[in-house]
Structure 1
C-alpha cells in the first residue's frame, strides 16, 4: 500500500512547482489593450499626409510666391499697373505662361483600334495615323498558312469555289435574304418605289462586265508605294503608319502587319508576349511624334518639357491604363501625364454638359451618359462591333451578288484599303438612295497595271450598315480568340477580387446575351431579379427566357431572327449561344404622350450585386443592337427620373468615324421612336456642333482638357509615380479609380 504524499511532493513530481523568484519576464512596460469601442486615428485623414496632395499644394505655393516676387520686382522697376491691378510682365515671362495656356507643350494621344489621333493641344486638328506596324518576317499576313481569303469563304470537297450565292454558307444567305425582304416591306410602307427584279439586274450586269486595264503612265492617281531596299541589311526592321499599309505584299524582304489594339482591347491573339505589344505601341507613338508633329526629342531632358494627355475608353482595363502611365513617365520620360475618358472628352469637344455620347469606332462602339462634366458610371456600355464589321459585311454582300473583282482578300493591304474606300463612298442609310446604281473603282496593286471595274449594286449599300441594328449579319467567330491569354485582369491586392471598372448597363446587356451565365443576385424590394439553384437568372415579373422567346435551355434554341453571341467556355473552346432581344422594360408599349412610362434599371450601383460576375464578363462577346443598347444606358443613367430620360434622349450625339454614314442619325432616331413611342417627341440625335469632324471630337476634348492649366489637378508627375506607383491614380483620376 502506497503511502499518502504531501502537496509539495505532488507539485515537485508533476513539474508544477514554481521555481522562479517572482521576477517579470521582461523589463518593458506592459501596454494596455485598446478599447475597441473608443479609439481614433488621423492616419491619411488630412491632405498634408498624402504625397499627391502635398506636392500639389507646394506647387501652388511656389507659383504664388513666384508671382509675388515678380510683382515686387516689377514695382521696384517702376512698371505701370494694369487695369485689373496687376503689374505688366515682360515678354519672356508672358511667353512661358502662354506655352502653358496655349498647350504648345502638351501632347494629346487618342489610341484607337484602327487609327491613332495625335497632336499638340494647341493644334486645331490632330494627325491621323493608322495604328499599325510592319515588322520583318518570312511571309506577309496574306501568305501565311492560315491566310485564307477574308471574308472567309466555303470550299467544295474538291477544293474548288462554289457559286457566289453559296460561298458564305446557308446561314448568311438566309439572313441576307430576310434583311432584304424586310427592307422592301419597309420601303413600301414609306411609299417608296421598289423596282421588281432589281437583284436580277445587278447579277446580270456583274456577270458579264470585264475590267478595263489602264497602263501605269496613264493613271493620274497612281499610288506611291513604300520603297524597300533590296539589301536586307539596309531594310528597316519596322515601318509604322501609312507607310506600313503601302508596303507591297510581296516585297523583298517580306513584312508582316501587326495591329496592337484589337476591338478596343490589347491584341493578345497575334502576339506571343505582352512586352512586344507595349513595345509596338510605343514605337508607333514615338514615330508619330517624330514624323507628324515634327518633334525630334532625342535627349531625355527634352521629353520632360512636354506633358501628355491620354484619352482612354470609358470601360477600360486597369492594366491598360497603368501600362500607359508607365510608358509615358518611364519609357518616354514626359514631365507629367493625365488620363481623360472618351465620352467626357467628346462632351468637352462638343461643348455639351449633359449628353448621351454614342461613339461608333472601327471595331468597338461605346455608349455613355455624361451629366455636368462627369461620366455616369452605371451607364457605360462597350460593344465589340463597328465600322470594320460593316466593311467586311459589305464585301460579302457584294461578292454574293457576283462582284466582278471576285478575288478580293481583306488580308491583302491594297484590298483592305479598297474595301474601306468602297464603304466610305457608297454605304448609306437613306432609303431614298436605294435603287440599282452603277459604280466604278480602280484597283491599284504594286507591280501591276491599274484595272478599272464597273459594277452595279442595289440594297447592299444599306444592308451592310444596317448590321449595327441587326448584329447577327456580322461575323463574330474570332473576336474572343486570345482574350486574357497574355494579360490577366487586375485584382485587388487585399481582397483578391477583380477590380476592373464595371457598369450595370453593360452587365444587363451581357445578361441578356447569355442569361445562363448570370450569377445569383439578391432580390430587390419589387421582386425584379431572382435566381434559381442552377445559377440561371429569372425575373419574377417576366423571366429572361420568356422575354427572349427561348426555352429554359437557351443553347438548344437557335432562331434565325435572333442574334447570336460568342461564348468562351471554361476550356477556352468558343461556341455559339443566342443573344436575346431586349427585355420588355425597354420595349414598352405605346403610352399617352403626357404620361410616358418610366422604367427601373435592373440594378444600380448602390449596394446591389450585379447580375453577371466580373470574371465571366470577358467570356461573353458584347454584340447587341445599337438602339436597345442606347436605351439601356439611358435607363441606368436616369435612375427612374422622367426628366433625366428626356434630357438624355434629347441629347444623343453620334461621334466616331463610323457615325459618318449618311442617314444614320435619322434612321437611329426613327428606330428609337419606334421602341419608345412615349418619348417620340423628346428623342433628338445630333452631330458635334460648329462643323467639327465627328472622328476627332474626342481628341478635341482632350486638347481642351490639356489647356486647362491651373484648374487641372489630374496631372501625375515623375516624383509621385516613383514614390507611389500606380496607386497615385486613386488620388489623381477625375472618376472613381
Structure 2
C-alpha cells in the first residue's frame, strides 16, 4: 500500500508547482488610480508649455549663452568687464554696434504694404519705398476698355447727321447736375463769407472758352516727354506693375488688367477663384522685388535668406491675414514673417506715441487712435471712399464744363494716367487758389501723335475733394458691393460658430447711423445658393458651404439682394448684387418682412422656397450691424473722426484733448493743398459746443516725409527692431501650429 503523498509532491508530480523567479508579468509601469476627490493638472496652463513661447525662450537662452561665451573670451583676452557683465565699450562703439545690427537686419528684411491702387515695397534699410501699381495684365480676348461699350460713364449720343450731341450737361443725368450746382453754390457762399472775390460769370467764362478750344499736334520726335509703351510682341503670360499700365489697349494679343485688392477688400468681383487672386498678388510682389529692388530671388532657397514685414489694415479680416501668412511662408518661402497694423506703423513712422491717424487712401479711408504703441480697437473706422472717388467726380465735373478732350475714358489706360496727373497737379481746396485758371495738358496715346490742349477750370479743382466731407456728392458707390462674399466667406470660431473677425464700436455706430430703421434683421447669402440650386443655376462660390434651406441655419452676416427699392439703396444709392449669376438670370429676391408668417423667395413661375419667419426673427441680432456686408460704410470724414475719438477716449476729457491735439493726416489722397486747414476748420465748427474746439490740431508727417510712405516707413522701423521684436513667425512654427501661431505672435488680440 502506497503511503499518502504531501501537497508539494503532488504539485511537483502534476506540474503545478511554480518554478519562475517571482518576476512581474509585464515591464510596463502600473499606473495607480488617482484620487478622484483631490487631483490637479496644469496642462497648457503655463506659457512655457506653448511651442511658440518655448521657441522664443530657447532663442533668449541661446543669446544668453552666446553672451556668456563672449564674456569669457573677453576675460581671456584681458579686456575689462563692466558691472553689468558686459564688455566695456565706449558710447560711440555701442552706438556703432547697434547701428550695424539694425543695418544687417534691415538689409535682409523686405517690407510690403499692399494697397488697393499701389504696392509699396522695399528693404527695411532703404530710405523710401518703391511705389508700384497693384495691377497685373493677363492675356484675354478683349481689354477692359472694350468691355461694356468701353465707357465707365454714359456716352455722348450721336445725332442723325452723324455728329455728336454737344450737351455735356445732360451726359450724367439731372441728379448729378443738381448736386454739382448745389456744391458750387455752397462754395461761393463760403468764399464770400471769407471775403474772397468771386466773379459772377466764372462758370460761363470756363464753358465758353472750352467750347472753342482746339488742340495742337506734336510729332513724336519733337515730344521730349514721350512715353515708352510696353512691348508685348513676345506674348508674355502676364505683365505686372507699372509696365502693365503701359500696354496699349489695342495691343496684339490683347491684355486685360486685374486689380487683386479693391476698396480695401480682396477683389472677388473680377475673379473666379481664390487661388487666382493670391497667385496674382504673389506674382506682383515677385516681379516688384526683381525689377524695382533689383534682388534676384527666384527660388525658395533665395527667399529663405530674407525676412518679411507685411502691413495690414487696422480693421482687417482674419482670412486676409492668414492667407498672406500662408503666401509668404508656403509660396514665397521667406525665413520669418511678422505683421503690423497700418495705424501703428504710421505712428512709428511719424514718431507719435498718442495720436489719431486719418489715412485717406485711393479707395478707402481708415481712422484709428493709437495710444502708447497700441491700437485702440473700438476706435477703428473703415470708410469705402478715397482718391479714386475724387478722380471720378473730377472727370465728370470737367466734362460737365465742356472739357475740350471730351472723349476721356477712365477705362483706357493712357486716359487713366492722364486724369491722375491732372488731379494731382490742379486739385486744391485753398480758397485763395480757386479762380478761373488757364492750363494745358498733353494727350499721349500709343500709335498717335501727341495732342496739346488748353482749357480753363474753376471750382472743379476743389469740389471733388470737398466731397469727402459730404460723401453723398459721390454717386458711384453702387458697384462697390458687387461680388462681396462671392468667393471668401467669413471666418468663424471653431467652438461656438460665431464670426471672429474684429469689431469696433465706432464702426458699428456709423453703420447704425446710415442704416434705415426698417432694415431686415439679417440678410443671408447662402439663400442664393439654395435658390440657384432650385432654379438649376450653378453656384460659383465656395463648394465647402453646406446647402441649407432654413434661414436660421444659414451663414450670418452676408448680403441679400432686394428686388424692390430698399431704404438702404435710397440712402446710400447702393445696388448690392451678391451673386452676379443670379442677377443676370433675373431671379430677384424680395426684402423679408418680419410681419409676414412666411417668406416667399423667387419670382412667380419659378421654383420657390417657403421659409418660416418666426424662427428667422428670433435667431439673429438686428443690432450686430458690423457683421453685415450689405451696408457700405459711407460717412462724412469729420463726423467719422469725432466718432473714433469718442470711442477711444471713453468719456475721458484729458484723453480726448490729447487725441484732438495730435491728429495725423496721411495717405496719398490727403496731399491736396489746403485739406489739413479745412479739416481743422470743419472739426472746430462741429465741436463748437463741446469745449474741444480750441484743442484741434491737424498735423502733417514731420521731417517733410511724404504722407504716402509714412505707413511703410513705420513698417521698416518695426522690421529693424531685431532685439525687441518678438512677433516673427517661422516656417517651423507655422508647419506645426498653422494660423494658431498668430494668437501668440501678434501684438494685438487675435
**Normalising by structure 1, what TM-score?**
0.81
Specify every segment of 5 or more residues in structure 2 that has no aligned partner in the other structure, as ranges: 1-29, 523-563, 592-620
How far is the alpha carbon of 1:304 from its aligned partner? 1.6
Q: Which residue of 1 is the match for residue 27 of structure 2? A: none
Verify: 1:181 aligned to 2:203, yes or no: no
Report the CA distance shift for 1:388/1:240 in structure 2 as closer, same or farther (over 3 A).
Answer: same
How far is the alpha carbon of 1:569 from its aligned partner? 7.4
Any idea what the Cα deviations from partners look like across 1:31-78, whole Å, max 9, x if unmatched? 79966xx87542221111101000000011011112222332343345
Residues 277-296 of structure 1 mapped to structure 2, 5 A cutoff: 277-296=277-296
Q: Which residue of 2 is the match for residue 672 of structure 1? A: 683
Any idea what the Cα deviations from partners look like across 1:266-298, whole Å, max 9, x if unmatched? 111111111000000000001111111121123
Any idea what the Cα deviations from partners look like across 1:135-186, whole Å, max 9, x if unmatched? 1112111112x14312445768999757100110111010001101111111
2:44 aligns to what SS in structure 1?
coil
2:451 aligns to what SS in structure 1?
strand
Distance in 2 (alpha carbons) for counterparts of 1:423 and 1:624: 23
How far is the alpha carbon of 1:566 from its aligned partner? 2.4
Residues 76-155 of structure 1 mapped to structure 2, 5 A cutoff: 76-78=76-78, 86-87=86-87, 98=101, 102-144=105-147, 146-153=148-155
Distance in 2 (alpha carbons) for counterparts of 1:187 and 1:714: 51
Distance in 1 (alpha carbons) for counterparts of 2:725 and 2:219: 58
How far is the alpha carbon of 1:217 from its aligned partner? 1.0
Report the CA distance shift for 1:34/1:496 in structure 2 as closer, same or farther (over 3 A).
Answer: farther
Q: Which residue of 1 is the match for residue 596 of structure 2? A: none
Report the CA distance shift for 1:664/1:627 in structure 2 as closer, same or farther (over 3 A).
Answer: same
Report the CA distance shift for 1:702/1:570 in structure 2 as closer, same or farther (over 3 A).
Answer: closer
1:324 aligns to what SS in structure 2?
helix
Report the CA distance shift for 1:330/1:157 in structure 2 as closer, same or farther (over 3 A).
Answer: farther
Verify: 1:163 aligned to 2:164, yes or no: no
Residues 575-724 of structure 1 mapped to structure 2, 5 A cutoff: 611-616=623-628, 618-677=629-688, 678-724=691-737
How far is the alpha carbon of 1:302 from its aligned partner? 2.8
Q: Which residue of 2 is the match for residue 226 of structure 1? A: 230
How far is the alpha carbon of 1:198 from its aligned partner? 0.8
Report the CA distance shift for 1:29/1:721 in structure 2 as closer, same or farther (over 3 A).
Answer: closer
1:175 aligns to what SS in structure 2?
helix
2:150 aligns to what SS in structure 1?
coil
Q: Which residue of 1 is the match for residue 576 of structure 2? A: 568
2:111 aligns to what SS in structure 1?
strand
Q: Which residue of 2 is the match for residue 428 of structure 1? A: 428
Q: Which residue of 1 is the match for residue 487 of structure 2? A: 486
How far is the alpha carbon of 1:426 from its aligned partner? 0.5
Distance in 2 (alpha carbons) for counterparts of 1:244 and 1:558: 35
Distance in 2 (alpha carbons) for counterparts of 1:569 and 1:222: 42
Q: Which residue of 2 is the match for residue 214 of structure 1? A: 218
Q: Which residue of 1 is the match for residue 248 of structure 2? A: 248
Distance in 1 (alpha carbons) for counterparts of 2:676 and 2:199: 26
Q: Contact conserved, 2:102 with 2:721, CA < 8 A, in 1?
A: no
1:709 aligns to what SS in structure 2?
coil
Q: Which residue of 1 is the match for residue 546 of structure 2? A: none
Q: Contact conserved, 1:151 with 1:392, CA < 8 A, in 2?
A: no
Q: Which residue of 2 is the match for residue 47 of structure 1? A: 47
Distance in 2 (alpha carbons) for counterparts of 1:212 and 1:96: 56
How far is the alpha carbon of 1:314 from its aligned partner? 0.2
Moved more, 396-405 or 641-650: 641-650
How far is the alpha carbon of 1:251 from its aligned partner? 1.2
Distance in 2 (alpha carbons) for counterparts of 1:734 and 1:79: 40
Distance in 2 (alpha carbons) for counterparts of 1:499 and 1:510: 19
**Normalising by structure 2, what TM-score?**
0.80
Q: Contact conserved, 2:469 with 2:638, CA < 8 A, in 1?
A: yes
Verify: 1:60 aligned to 2:72, yes or no: no
Verify: 1:394 aligned to 2:401, yes or no: no
Q: Contact conserved, 1:369 with 1:375, CA < 8 A, in 2?
A: yes
Residues 128-527 of structure 1 mapped to structure 2, 5 A cutoff: 128-144=131-147, 146-153=148-155, 163-229=167-233, 234-474=234-474, 475-516=476-517
Q: Which residue of 1 is the match for residue 610 of structure 2? A: none
How far is the alpha carbon of 1:216 from its aligned partner? 0.9
How far is the alpha carbon of 1:613 from its aligned partner? 3.7
Q: Contact conserved, 1:153 with 1:168, CA < 8 A, in 2?
A: no
Q: Contact conserved, 2:144 with 2:150, CA < 8 A, in 1?
A: no
Distance in 2 (alpha carbons) for counterparts of 1:39 and 1:82: 49
1:368 aligns to what SS in structure 2?
strand
Report the CA distance shift for 1:520/1:226 in structure 2 as closer, same or farther (over 3 A).
Answer: closer
Specify every segment of 5 or more residues in structure 1 that has no aligned partner in the other structure, as ranges: 1-27, 522-552, 578-608
Q: Contact conserved, 1:517 with 1:612, CA < 8 A, in 2?
A: no
Q: Which residue of 1 is the match for residue 25 of structure 2? A: none
Q: Contact conserved, 1:362 with 1:386, CA < 8 A, in 2?
A: yes
Q: Contact conserved, 1:101 with 1:709, CA < 8 A, in 2?
A: no
Report the CA distance shift for 1:569/1:516 in structure 2 as closer, same or farther (over 3 A).
Answer: farther
